[in-house]
A and B are shown apart, each in its own frame.
Chain A
Amino acid sequence: MKLRNLLQDIIDGRRMTNEEFALLYRQGDFLEIGRAANHVREKRFGNNITSFIIDRNINYTNICSCKCKFCAFYREKGDKDAYVIDKTTLFGKIDEAVSLGATQLMIQGGLNEELKIDFFEDIFKKIKSRYDITIHSLTAPEIVYIARISNLSIKDTLLRLKKAGLDSLPGGGAEVLHDDVRSYISPNKIKTAEWLGVMKTAHEINMKTTATMMMGSVDKLEHRIYHLDAVRHLQDETGGFRAFIVWTYQPGNNELMGEKISSAQYLRFLALARLYLDNIEHIQGSWVTQGERIGQLSLLFGADDLGSIMIEENVVRAAGLVYKMDMNKMVRLIRDAGRVPALRNTKYELLKVF
């Protein structure tokens, strides 16, 4: 009963503390948490729309010096299947994406010492001159790496990329924003402060970003709460995060292996994230890592967006997970949950309501 009152307080607008998050995660009732998250979603949007975007992931290289333990995608330079994308392939992929209705490109790749800022400036400019499409690309670890090998500050790097056509940054590479976790699963990747620094700098030059989390590898609840706290804190300061997305770690084809976190835990966390992150508009459910069945249920647990119809995704696929999604399936999935499907763009403007 006490926890129910606590949930009611939070629905009414009081900010959830870290201790309360832990308490609710450990002892809160699954259905009550879900209902509270849904209530807050309803209050925020005043409708029953679930949005989704059509985008294309383009992984420009798989050569990566980072070698995270949870990753099944990276290769060393000289490996048989190591690659850097050529322009013909790149534009071929974009042509295809545009013809399939994509409005967003997620160009992401490994940390490859041969690809300095001019490589990205060049492709972004060329893309913008040819296509009317949003470039939602390069994660914080890539930005830091590009800045370093190009001898630039983060700010100058972002400014130059923005000028070349970069619209916004996805939240990838956040994993869990706690250095104990990062030091173990991705020791060569930027630490928490640097990730937050890139986001902050992006927000300061008026570039919006997304915040993400990959939960369920070696992280404990305390680490995840630390992550949410850091994101909420920065959002108070800058307001530059459009959305929060939580993925679950995919064991398979990697060094870390381990067991996948249960879907019930995922839904519980997602719902509490909706309640905790009172300053972030959109909470995205993930059918990519959870499958369409749990993806659908995420809509009852606080998600207002279901990500996404991806024309190409290589990283999760490399870990052995392939779910297929197309527009009809997405629309049906959302409708079956009693929601109204709507196609959106990167800014979450609705393009078409089904």
Chain B
Amino acid sequence: MEKKMLEIQEKIKNNIRLSREDGLYLYNSGDLLDLGELARWKKFQVSGRNVFFNVNRHINLTNICVSRCKFCAFGVDENGKGGPYLMSVDEAFDYGAAAVDYGITEFHIVSALHPHMPFDYYVDIVRRLHETFPDIHIQAFTAVEIFYFSQISGLSIREVLSALKAVGLGSMPGGGAEVFNDDIRQKLCPRKAMSDEWLEVHRIAHELGIKTNCTMLYGHIETIEDRINHFIRLRNLEDETPGFQAFIPLPFLPENTSLSHISRTSAIDDLKTIAISRLMLDNIDHIKAFWIMLGLPIAQIALDFGADDIDGTVVEERIMHAAGAPTEKGISKEKIIKLIKESGYIPTERDTLYKVIRAY
């Protein structure tokens, strides 16, 4: 091992926070298997041999979007191509309700920025689902959506979140973070919340006792410095106003987007990013290997590179699949359990707030 790597190893074993420079070093040099071992050691400190998953239903209410980010293959115009759709409150409810018998513990609602639907529409859906299924946790609306709801309703972010919480919102997903570099956001997603706004929504959510996740979309036009900076901003927010449960690195899938000339991140980059996020984000407990985007083989291997969560056995997912994610749209619990066991870990079904439902 190189001297710098040994230094980093010392820091990690002594719970000393890694610097920006350390993060850059890990990305730019060093052996991937050494890195994996460090990240895995860190994972063991946090969650032992458990690997978490949950069983949820994704509900993507609409694909009609005013934001139209360049990296997205899901959003369409209201009257444009690509099969624009909008679920009514009843349809959304029925769609969610239909999955209840699969043993789901979470409704996961993420959508587009619809040009006309009022904030009340979203409130109604959460209320309907929560009233009928009070035991099923509702994780809904990215910070980008929350910020948009504030714009279309004239309410403050705090008021929007409070209103949703009052009718049953349990926690927020981590999407829409992309990369915290506003020059890049101006190029790729100019019509949605900028970095500070995204972070502000999560700060307020945490203040209101709403747990959230966080993500990073990588492998497009960002630099390694941007990625490390992203980790540090998340880490700082978690220090100041804790509330992040999990970090989910999302590799950019170029297919079907207007950035399709960019090639897909390599498996090595994906594993590095998992491992480095585990080491940099020392105050966020869970690192998720999101199999929908990584593919099951890499998600399984990522368990030895610091990931401790493999996401849900999603009943059906549309957004990533629009971008050509070559994975199945849903996966059985048995398959997830088998993969985790095969890698020598304990498959642990959790609820949204990481309460253990059952270890297998």
Contact = CB atoms under 8 A, between A and B. Distances in A.
A264 B307 CA distance: 15
Interface stretch (A82-90, A223-231, A293-301, A307-315): A293-301
Given A34-B33, A296-B266, A296-B267, A262 B339 contact: yes
Nearest to B344: A30
Interface in A307-326: none
B295 interface: yes
Q: Contact size class for A?
A: 20 to 34
A267 B301 contact: yes
Q: What's the dominant secondary structure at chain B's contact region?
A: helix
Given A296-B267, A296-B268, A337-B268, A31 B37 contact: yes
A337 B265 CA distance: 12
A264 B268 contact: no
Contacts of A337: 266, 268
A149 to B, nearest CB: 42
B304 A31 contact: yes
Contact of B32 (A30, A262, A265, A300): A300
A336 B33 contact: no
Contact of A262 (B34, B268, B342): B342
B266 A264 contact: no
Interface string B242-285: 00000000000000000000010011111100000000000000
Interface string A312-354: 0000000000000000000011001110000000000000000
Interface string B331-349: 0000000010011100000
A264 B301 contact: yes
Contacts of A296: 266-268
A293 B339 contact: no
B267 A297 contact: yes
Given A31-B33, A264-B297, A294 B267 contact: yes
Given A38-B33, A262-B342, A296-B267, A31 B40 contact: yes
B266 A293 contact: yes
Nearest to B271: A297
A262 B267 contact: no
Contacts of B31: 35
Contact of B266 (A31, A262, A290, A333): A333
Nearest to A332: B263
A263 interface: yes
A264 B300 contact: yes
Contacts of A263: 297-298, 300-301
A297 B301 contact: yes
Contacts of B266: 293, 296, 333, 336-337
A297 B270 CA distance: 11
A263 B298 CA distance: 8
Interface string B29-48: 00111101100100000000
Given A31-B33, A262-B339, A262-B342, A336 B269 contact: yes
A262 B297 contact: yes
Interface in A1-39: 30-32, 34-35, 38
Given A31-B304, A267-B301, A297 B343 contact: no
A332 B300 CA distance: 24
Contacts of A290: 297
Contacts of B34: 35
Contacts of B269: 336
Contacts of B37: 31-32
A32 B34 CA distance: 9
22 contacts: A30-B301, A30-B343, A30-B344, A32-B37, A34-B33, A35-B31, A35-B33, A263-B301, A264-B300, A264-B343, A265-B342, A293-B270, A293-B297, A293-B298, A294-B267, A294-B297, A296-B268, A297-B267, A297-B301, A300-B268, A336-B268, A338-B268
Given A38-B33, A293-B297, A294-B297, 9 more contacts: A31-B36, A262-B300, A264-B342, A264-B343, A293-B295, A294-B298, A296-B266, A297-B267, A297-B268
CB-CB nearest 9 A-B residue pairs: A263-B297, A293-B267, A336-B266, A35-B33, A30-B304, A31-B33, A31-B37, A296-B267, A264-B300
